[in-house]
Amino acid sequence: MMRSLWIAKTGMEAQQTQLDNISHNLANVATNGYKRSHAVFEDLIYQNMRQSGANTTEQTVLPTGLQVGLGVRPVATARIYT
């Protein structure tokens, strides 16, 4: 339960960062010399729940395995110089 809340928390923080960037871009749309920006994100580590090629409960083979992502984090705020 706590892991799913942690994953949701990281997603909400990333979305807040993206909304902050969008609001700054909109607030400064008429400012001379303002360069818009966007947030850059990266995935946190993935946890392998089942290896690829493992048997499932129905005795079939799981070809791609099962991975669960553990969230996202903002890495940088990049400027767009166009």
β-partners of residue 48 are 67
Structure confidence at residue 54 (pLDDT): 64
| pLDDT mean across residues, the chain | 85
Q: From CA 7, how far away is CA 4, in angstroms rounded? A: 5
β-strand pairing of 46-50 with 54-55 = unpaired
Mean pLDDT across the stretch 11-26? 94
Q: What is the share, in percent, of the chain residues with pLDDT greater than 90? A: 45
- Angle CA 58–62–63, to nearest 5: 150
Task: Name the strand (E) or helix (H) holding 13.
Answer: helix 2-27
Mean pLDDT across the stretch 11-20? 94
Structure confidence at residue 48 (pLDDT): 77
CB atoms within 10 A of CB 22: 14
- pTM over cut 0.75: no
Confidence at 62, pLDDT banded by 50, 70, 90: low
